Amino acid sequence: MKEVVLITGANGMVARELSKNLEKDYTVRFLTRKKNKANEYEWDIHKGTIDESAFENISHVIHLAGANISEKRWSEERKKEIISSRIDAAKLILDTLKKKNIRLKSFISASAVGIYGAQTSQNIYAEDDEKANDFLGKVVRLWEAAADEFLKENIAERVVKIRTSIVLSEKEGALNKMAVPIKFGIGSPIGTGKQYMPWIHLTDMCRIYEFALKNPHVHGAYNSASPQHTTNENFTEKIAEVLHKPLFMPNIPAFILKLLFGELSVALLEGSRVDSQKIQDAGFQFQYPDLKNALQDLLKK
């Protein structure tokens, strides 16, 4: 009998792709706001309601739910939604598991490299480095603390926190947004272009979650970013190279992004490198460690 994996954030690109990887070896279920398929179960974080039948014979939870950080300006209301969609969601799952007296084999939670802060520095951040006190740092610290509660409450045998970088996909996300103007000959780096962009191919992102699920020795926090570092300027140039398009427009000035996005612009204008050695030491091997190869795979589809 296959073990049951419950995934939150059913409509996200990682959840959709990850489920394809897992269906052979696991019974996959989703928590979603609106049920459309037989393996989907409804929940409402704001109302605190959840279909408890989703938890029958469950062994693992992969918690991917969370409002998109870069989708809207960071109004005070939006900031609360970003935090609530992660923390309150985890608490609702925890409370339901306690109520039903279920102990998981693993609780695997999305996290983010934003825990090191929206800053550009020469530091290469490893998992044990100091956490930031800015908004992104606060969000991720609360996010990871909510995951750690599953261990503290003895509701999961182990907890894994996957600190996600920019996930590259040909269909949506940062790569798609950057590639479109380049295709039309109007792409350019943003700000100074010197800010680092930790990145990972969608395939490797899903493989890391699968690796964490299938390997009981994996626990704690892991950076999920390609071992090859790049700046925004180099990233833009590589996209243009793969698409065989020229880059002649000047950099987009920082003040324009600040006018357009407000406080959110810091997430676009700043960025530091992160170290992925820990996940590699655990036995994971990247399929797409090289940026040009990753872009060729995605942009030629």
List, for residues 43-73, the tens digit of each pLDDT value.
999 999 999 999 999 999 999 999 999 888 9
Q: With 80 as the cut, is the pLDDT of residue 246 above it?
A: yes
Domains contained in the chain, CATH given: 3-167+200-224 (3.40.50.720)
For CA atoms 190, 196, 201, 206, give the dihedral sign. Answer: negative
Indicate the pLDDT class of residue 173, thresholds 50, 70 and 90.
confident
| Percentage of the chain modeled with pLDDT above 70 | 100
Q: If you ran DSSP here, which 8-state letter would residue 103 be given? A: -
Q: Residue 106 phi/psi, 5° resolution?
A: -155, 145
Angle at 131 between CA 130 and CA 133, to 5 degrees: 125
User: Residue 105 burial (CB < 10 Å; 0-12/13-18/19+)?
Assistant: middle
Q: What is the pLDDT of residue 259?
A: 84
pTM of the model as a whole: 0.95
List, for residues 110-134, the tens digit of each pLDDT value.
999 999 999 999 999 999 999 999 9
List, for residues 181-197, the tens digit of each pLDDT value.
999 888 999 999 999 99
3-state secondary structure of 274: strand
Mean per-residue pLDDT over the chain, rounded: 94
Residue range 200-206: mean pLDDT, rounded: 98
Residues 6+ away with beta carbon under 8 Å from 65: 8, 9, 12, 31, 45, 85, 86, 89
Q: What is the pLDDT of residue 109?
A: 98
How does strand 220-224 pair with strand 58-63?
unpaired
Count of CB atoms situated within 10 Å of the CB of 217: 7
